[in-house]
Amino acid sequence: MRDNELLKILAIQHPIVQGPMAGGPSTPELVAAVSNAGGLGSLGAAYLTPDQITDAIRRIRALTSRPFNVNLFAGGWTTRQDFDAGPMLEVLSEVHEKLGLPAPVAPTPVPDPFPAQLAAVLDARPSIFSFTFGIPDRDAMSRLKARGITILGTATTVNEARQLEQAGVDAIVAQGLEAGAHRGTFLDSFESSMVPMVDLVRASAAAVSLPLIATGGLMDGHDIVSAMQAGASAAQLGTAFLACPESGASEVYKQTILAAKEDTTVVTRAFSGRPARGLRNAFIEQLEGRQDLILPYPLQNALTRSMRTAAAQQGFADYLSLWAGQGVARASAMPAGDLVASLLI
């Protein structure tokens, strides 16, 4: 694969970025394995406490001397109190009973963890910091730059790409509609921001002067070549790395991903309150046509956490958020370093 300016900015060998995958899959072992193979490993730190972020970064540094990325959610946090959790609690009560859990309890709004998480990132000073769901404020961006940290922001539309450029990021992750997990949309409606990856990359390349990292349904070297032909300088893959032995995804999650013979993914708010792409299952179907019951993010996410944790432990895929991109049917299980090598065509 050709050399390009972005590889110099990131100080990596190959134009391959492992998607951050917050919530467990992106372990220090996975991050380090990808970075050691010449790509860019990424720690999805959005659900970690500041101390956990510090510890994870320390563990990554013990496993690699190469650059790696730390990712946080910068926006989309709701502290609203004007919600009625009653109907959602009724739905979850049935599931909790099946899983042998105590009755669910309405979540309490809590402050956005981003400022404290960012402080931990600034103290640890990783080579690269990325964010999604919004844009950090000017002060945060200035502090990141003052520490010499390369900054990547996520866009789902050309307008978002333009705003990221104006905010001073070093490169833009262009998230196509095919991408697994949460949508990074922060400007317009989620519905109007569902742009195919190739179209988004082409339009963004014409609108901004920054390097683009394409993401959305990419699974192999041919996908990466297509993304780069559209104007990307690198590709970010998440689902492709989910089943790697270094991934922290639960065993039932990995097996469900590997068993997928076709794309059955849908974009749903059922698990977290924010639109995210994952494999259709019983819980998603249970809430279809009942979207008004779903609490806003992160309240729904907090409310379903016990269910998701128990489902992972007990092997019930129907009550797990099985985040995956549209290329899921091509997932395979191999060590992360071998996967990076297989992507080089």
- Quick one: average pLDDT of 177-194? 98
The alpha carbon of residue 149 and the mean position of all alpha carbons in its chain are separated, in whole angstroms, by 20
Give per-residue pLDDT as tens, 194-250.
Answer: 999 999 999 999 999 999 999 999 999 999 999 999 999 999 999 999 999 999 999
Q: Could you tell me the two tokens for 153?
A: 């922001």
Give the model's pLDDT for residue 81: 85
Q: What is the model's pTM?
A: 0.97
Q: What is the pLDDT of residue 2?
A: 41
Residue 24 has pLDDT above 80, yes or no: yes
- 279 beta partners: 265
| Residue 113, amino acid | P
Please report the DSSP string for 319-338 in residue order: GS--B--TTGGG-----HHH
User: Could you read off the pLDDT of 55-87 as tens digits, one per residue?
Assistant: 999 999 999 999 999 999 999 999 888 899 999
Does residue 3 carry a pLDDT above 60? Answer: no
pLDDT band at residue 345, thresholds of 50, 70 and 90? confident
Q: What pLDDT score does 4 carry?
A: 87
Residue in the block written with tokens 């922290």 = 248
> How far is the CA of 208 from the CAs of 162, 163, 339, in angstroms?
6, 10, 31
pLDDT for residue 30: 99
Average pLDDT score over the chain: 97
